[in-house]
Amino acid sequence: MRYLPKSPAERQEMLAAIGAKSIEELFSSIPDRFRLREALNIPGPYSEAEVIQYFKDRAAENSNGYTTFLGAGVYNHLRSVVTDAIIQRGEFLTSYTPYQAEITQGTLQTIFEFQTLMCQLTGQEVANASMYDGSTATTEAVLMAERLTGRQRVLVARSVHPEYREVLKTYAKNSGLRVEEIPFTAKGTVDAKALQVALKDDVAAVVVQTPNFFGVIESCAPLADVTQAAGAMFAVAIAEGVSLGLVKPPAEADIVAMEGQSFGLPPSYGGPFAGVIASREKFVRQMPGRLAGQTTDTEGRRGFVLTLATREQHIRREKATSNICTNQALCALAATVHLTLLGKEGLREMAQQNLSKAQFALSELLKIPGVRRTFDAPFFNEFTVEIRSFCAKKSSGRSRWARRIRN
Amino acid sequence: MNTKIKKASRHTNQNEGLIFEKSSPGKRAFELPPLDVPAADPDEALGGNHRRAGIDGFPEVSEIEVLRHFTRLSTWNYAIDLGMYPLGSCTMKYNPRVNEFIARLDGIATEHPYQPQELSQGCLKVLRLLEKCLLEITGMDAITLQPAAGAHGEMTGLLLIRAYLEKQGNPRKKVLIPDSAHGTNPATAVIAGYEVENIKSESHGQIDVDKLRDQVTGDVAALMITNPSTLGIFEQRIPEIAEILHAKGALLYMDGANMNALAGVTRPGDLGADVMHLNLHKTFSTPHGGGGPGAGPVAMKKILEPFRPVPILVEKEGGRLALEPVRPDSIGRVKAFAGNFGVLVRALAYILAYGPGVRQATEDAVLNANYIRKQLEGVYELPYSLPSMHEVVFSDAMQKKNGVNTMDIAKRLIDYGFHPYTTAFPLIVPGALMIEPTESESKEECDLFIEAMKAIAEEAATKPEIVKTAPHTTRVRRLDEVGAARKPVLRWKPPARRSEAAD
């Protein structure tokens, strides 16, 4: 087998050194009746060429030749080949979590740069090294708010990505959290009045998304004001990070949960992506996940380490802020490289092109008879339209279905 | 230069600041194609109050600078591609490059999770085949590929147990966890709404079955067991342990972190485990990438199948595959979309390359660990003498006499050209050295490691200072972790402007 670096003679030599007669002897602690006698029934072994052919065949059974306008939390933005060249360097690709700081300064410094970029983008003071994705980051933001407030009621806007809300409900079910949904207005934005009514002194967090699931940009500042006046945390989910190239960041939020897929990561049928939690400095000790921090070595040189580990499961066990261990480091590195490549002007220009193309697509669609815009509100690169059914027998004039369109 | 250091020599590497410090206004590394539609006016389209000015401090550099920046940083890392990475419990094995290639194919990397399922049959077939392979390897009945990492899989597994018990009328209160377990186990139990009760290992490092019998009451939902344990020892009485739990209506959760010792040799499902997670970034070689992404599929017995997280992969008539978003008894969704698909693809590529030959990989992994154990026995103390599987745990008891601890030895190993083993874990071994070579190491590389470990033991006895102040050859020396935590600096900030500085 090409991945295994031992000759039969070397195996024998090593067995002899151990003092074992056969390899079977090394497995003697497994009760005999549980040891497999037959080979596993799985396909292979395949040569490299066969492996490639198998996946090329599968790739051909997918959406080749189609253009998608799907969006909804996964976006196909332009990416530079440089990003992939960097993240495929073995030193990044095949390195472990940087617990041994002296020989992982490369990874540690890139995490520090990632944290900085995430702060700059979101207008927050601190950001972590990554979470699994936007959906679990949103849930972790709520759990963080629960720890900070000691309260257990959560108000989530119904305009938040439905799968993010579902994930939150899965986690909430057993932790005593009570999740309630806040409706949206005819403009597709959070119903501020309904929020005001629901806000009591038992609310831990209010969660909104901007741009929201309909693509509409929420006005965060007034929502943050009423939320914080009730002593609750204002948490903002961001599923489309490129929006931050043009749209004001939710600096007033207490916690931001962002999906980083838009930053150089391919759609990959839904993952792996990179979530992130950003927040205020005073809340850092309740943040989940890893953090890289700057420090000095014994000779005064700048270096980086994983820090504030007393929040984490490997130290704190059942008292940890989260159970997360492995996160999405390589995806976070891809985002770091991609954003560095785009830079200040590139990100702005990408956002500007997204905005322009979405505006153009909407104006063209509205020229088609029977197409109507669902929400008359500012949007970034996604919007919803409703199409009157032409084939319905009982034409009530009401829209039968809406389809999400993205540039 | 110490002549005993055979694997490594010093070499120059480049200095490099933070990318933000290299930035200069007007430079750029990426150009978009010209806009081919009318340009929208952001103020008009977004409204002035939503409009952002430029992002302060965001990098402005050229393409060559980006490439050099990250390439230079990469050279400061140790990696499997450079040599043995004997981190116990982490299974740092070779990450085949073909897996990177196929994950980036058009038609694989480009697919959107919401595209019609008729146009996703290739993706779904990949998932289906991976499910089948993992079920065969684990001896289980049903599986979910949704969880994003091991800890996420643990949570999913415990939620399955909880849903199953709830359906029977009582979710119960406690989860039993051995004192040798990974920290994720207790942290996860709490998220699933359970209290943690620790169980002590007996003197050989195995679960104390007699004590366990007393601890399994009607309040206990499950026992989370790692097998082989974090000591690298197979829990020989696991079938009996399963019986004890089952007799009281509790379930057995197996942490599959150490599956690299078992694949192709024995199957957790046959041993009595009801549910387990696999770390695809360990046993199935998907790259660790400096800390992820991973994937943590959860395999289970039939009784837990109805509770699997959505979406569920199903086979329809004519062999057509589909992801179903709704199941009445499902624990719900644990993550958006359909799992870490890009990671799952790589794991399947790994399995296909081996086929039934995964057994050979397991055998080589166990052979390497036992070889190292044999050669280092007597040089380092072996606190538990039961047979080792894929990893061996020593302690620093002999070196401690000279004031040298496991962390010192680990840091000195860096000077010898190796990544350290896992230090100070499991917690039941004071001063643990946890060594997992994996099947990816040749006899030659193992021998170099053994020589290095022997040389360090000798140094610890004769000139302990050199060990205690190691590493000596890295670009930074030991870093001030206490200072980093006391006054956290977690991001770069632009230097204060002159006018502000003058205030």
A407 has pLDDT over 70: no
A401 has pLDDT over 70: no
pLDDT band per the 50, 70, 90 thresholds, residue B1:
low
Q: Does A121 reach chain B within 8 Å, measured CB to CB?
A: yes
pLDDT band per the 50, 70, 90 thresholds, residue A390:
low
- List of chain A residues whose C-beta atoms are within 8 Å of the C-beta of residue B360: 1, 4
The residue in chain B having the minimum alpha-carbon distance to the alpha carbon of residue A66 is B119
Residue A188 pLDDT:
97
Cβ separation of A1 and B31 shorter than 8 Å? no
Cβ separation of A346 and B74 shorter than 8 Å? no
Residue B242 pLDDT:
98
Residue B500 pLDDT:
46
Residue A404 pLDDT:
40
Residue among B37, B60, B115 whose CB faces A360 most closely:
B37
Mutate to test the interface with A, among B84, B120, B438, B476 (most CBs of A within 10 A): B476
Residue A393 pLDDT:
46
What's the pLDDT tens digit per position in A285-335? 999 999 999 999 999 999 999 999 988 888 888 888 899 999 999 999 999
Cβ separation of B288 and A96 shorter than 8 Å? yes
Mutate to test the interface with B, among A114, A262, A284, A326 (most CBs of B within 10 A): A326
Q: Which pTM was predicted?
A: 0.96
Residue A399 pLDDT:
36
Domains and CATH numbers, chain A: 8-59 (no CATH), 81-339 (3.40.640.10), 344-406 (3.90.1150.10)
Q: HSE (CB half, 13 Å, CA atoms) of A360?
A: 13
Residue range B342-361: mean pLDDT, rounded: 98
Domains and CATH numbers, chain B: 19-74 (no CATH), 101-356 (3.40.640.10)
The residue in chain A having the minimum alpha-carbon distance to the alpha carbon of residue B118 is A62
ipTM field: 0.97
Helices (H), B259-357: 268-271, 341-354
What's the pLDDT tens digit per position in B7-61? 998 888 999 999 999 999 999 999 999 999 999 999 999 988 999 998 989 999 9
B3 has pLDDT over 60: yes
Residue among A34, A295, A330 whose CB faces B483 most closely:
A295
% of chain B surpassing 70 pLDDT: 98
Calculate Rg over the CA atoms of chain A. Answer: 25
Cβ separation of A343 and B287 shorter than 8 Å? no
What CA–CA distance (Å, rounded) separates B49 from A221? 10
- List of chain B residues whose C-beta atoms are within 8 Å of the C-beta of residue A341: 29-30, 63, 66
Residue range A158-187: mean pLDDT, rounded: 96
Residue range B395-407: mean pLDDT, rounded: 97
Q: Are B138 and B253 in contact (CB under 8 A)?
A: no
> H or E segment at B451?
helix B443-462
Residue among B104, B360, B478 whose CB faces A1 most closely:
B360
What's the pLDDT tens digit per position in A43-53? 999 999 999 99
Name the burial class of residue B125, with classes exposed (0-12), middle (13-18) and buried (19+) by CB atoms within 10 angstroms of its CB.
Answer: middle
Å between A157 CA and nearest CA of chain B = 17
Query: DSSP label at B399?
Result: H
- List of chain A residues whose C-beta atoms are within 8 Å of the C-beta of residue B357: 1, 44-45
- List of chain B residues whose C-beta atoms are within 8 Å of the C-beta of residue A59: 105-108, 122
B369 has pLDDT over 70: yes
Mutate to test the interface with B, among A25, A122, A136, A323 (most CBs of B within 10 A): A323
What CA–CA distance (Å, rounded) separates B337 from B146? 8
B502 has pLDDT over 90: no
What's the pLDDT tens digit per position in A38-85? 999 999 999 999 999 999 999 999 998 899 999 999 999 999 999 999
pLDDT band per the 50, 70, 90 thresholds, residue B311:
very high
Residue A395 pLDDT:
40
Residue range B386-413: mean pLDDT, rounded: 97
The residue in chain A having the minimum alpha-carbon distance to the alpha carbon of residue B91 is A96
pLDDT band per the 50, 70, 90 thresholds, residue B496:
confident
- What does the longest C-alpha to C-alpha distance in chain B come to? 77
